[in-house]
Amino acid sequence: MKLLITGANGFIGKSLVAEALLHSYQVVALVRKQAPLEWVDLKNLEVIICDLDEDEIPDLSTFSIDCVVHLAASMNPKSIDASNDVLLGTKKLIAEMQRSGIKKLIGMSSISVLDYESTKALTVINEETNISRNYQKMGQYSVLKTQQEDIYRAFGANGVNQCVIFRPGLVYDRNTLNAAHAGIIKSKFQLLVNHQGKVPLVNLESVLSAILKSASLEVSKVETVHLLDDDLPSQMEYLSALRNRKSIKTGGIVLAWWLLSPLIKIIFPVANMLNKTRVLPDLFFPHAFASRMKPFFFSNTKAKQLLNWQPKSFQ
């Protein structure tokens, strides 16, 4: 099987290229600029240098591609209004897939697209949880991922194409653990948040396994799948892991999430009234606060059943 991997030089992409080659896949790696030196002369690897947002996509029909794994996306617009431009690369890629007759797409989204704000605290989040459409209250990243999912679904809606949309939790490996769910961290100031739920994390190796399993999976419709570890950490276990990895400092102020929630409900409407929401950090948007700091539990049952997938436990 031959895979086209966009964003192949990114955090997930570079590891996916190596894992796919290790499992005897043929790989076409699409990168924006120069390919890594370690890729030189690798067997079964071809490289396309192309900025999806700026460049014309080459004729993909000449590569005999079976499946596209779309990891690349520019997610740093100056405003929500710029989202059409930011998602242009995704639209161009899918248009070229359709022209070239490539019928299988694996699209990477995010678990942050869900409507955490309206969902009751301490409930179980799964693929049946509603997506948020209140873009005004969402951070830019979540808005763009929601709109990107719409593009993926349109590709798979004709009954001929196949599409798997993955929503991973916060992806980590032995060296990298993001502090996005910790609280407000600015230089030496740390306002950390505690709650009674779990933190939605997923090990990088588990993400790679799920992608490769889905590449050979026959689906009859668009499948949306959450990727999460087994035995997810509590919030305090997550904060402890961040301290052990030196991602946050020891100490800091720790507050319960429900004490900060009313503050967000005051700050956001005032900023909105003054037309200043664009200068707010994502965490001060009600949806973003709820997605990171409101307590929930998370299910990975569908991924296990659909893919025969065995994720790791958080370490």
In a domain, 67, yes or no: yes
Q: What pLDDT band is residue 167 in, cutting at 50, 70 and 90? A: very high
In a domain, 235, yes or no: no
Report pLDDT digits (tens) over 234-289: 999 999 999 999 999 888 899 999 999 999 989 999 998 988 888 888 888 999 99
Whether 198 contacts 11, CB under 8 Å: no
Q: Any residues with CB less than 8 A from the CB of 40 and at least 6 apart, and which?
A: none
In a domain, 269, yes or no: no
Domain hosting residue 108, numbered range: 2-175+200-230+299-307
Report pLDDT digits (tens) over 173-220: 998 999 999 998 887 789 999 999 999 999 999 999 999 999 999 998
In a domain, 184, yes or no: no
Gap between the Cα atoms of 51 and 215, Å rounded:
24
Report pLDDT digits (tens) over 113-159: 999 999 999 999 999 999 999 998 888 889 999 999 999 999 999 88
In a domain, 247, yes or no: no
In a domain, 236, yes or no: no
pTM beyond 0.85, yes or no = yes
CA atoms 101, 61, 109, 164: torsion sign: positive
In a domain, 114, yes or no: yes
Collapsing DSSP states into helix, strand and coil, what is residue 210?
helix
Q: What is the pLDDT of residue 82?
A: 47
CATH number at residue 51: 3.40.50.720
Residue of 172, 128, 163 whose CA lies nearest to 311: 172
Gap between the Cα atoms of 113 and 165, Å rounded:
12
Q: What is the pLDDT of residue 49?
A: 95
Gap between the Cα atoms of 265 and 67, Å rounded:
44
Bridge-partner residues for 6, per DSSP?
30, 70
In a domain, 250, yes or no: no
Q: Any residues with CB less than 8 A from the CB of 203 and at least 6 apart, and which?
A: 171, 172, 173, 229, 311, 312, 314, 315
Number of domains present in the structure of the chain: 1
